[in-house]
Amino acid sequence: MKKKAYVNKQDCVAWGSCAKICPMSDINVDGISANINFEKCVGCGRCVKECPASVIQLKEV
């Protein structure tokens, strides 16, 4: 089963470290929260480990 990353946008602090570490460059961080391009995400989990606010989770799709 494949996994994809999801952001809890309500709790995201838009720190931006997830976007820097993503190998697919599929995370865009605006002034409010991170936005993940679901189509490009390969579910590697790097953003999950990187997030200082623990607002990203991998979910099975």
Q: How far is the CB of 31 from ligand SF4 (least distance, A)?
A: 19
Question: d(Cα 9, Cα 60) in Å, to the nearest integer?
Answer: 19
Q: Is 55 in the site for ligand SF4 (CB under 6 A)?
A: no
Q: Is 41 in the site for ligand SF4 (CB under 6 A)?
A: yes
Toward ligand SF4, which CB reaches closer, 20 or 32? 20
Q: CA nearest 22: which of 5, 10, 1, 2? A: 5
Q: Which two tokens stand for residue 40?
A: 């490009």
Residue showing tokens 């989990």: 45
Q: Which residues bind ligand SF4 (CB under 6 A)?
A: 5, 22, 24, 26-27, 36, 41-47
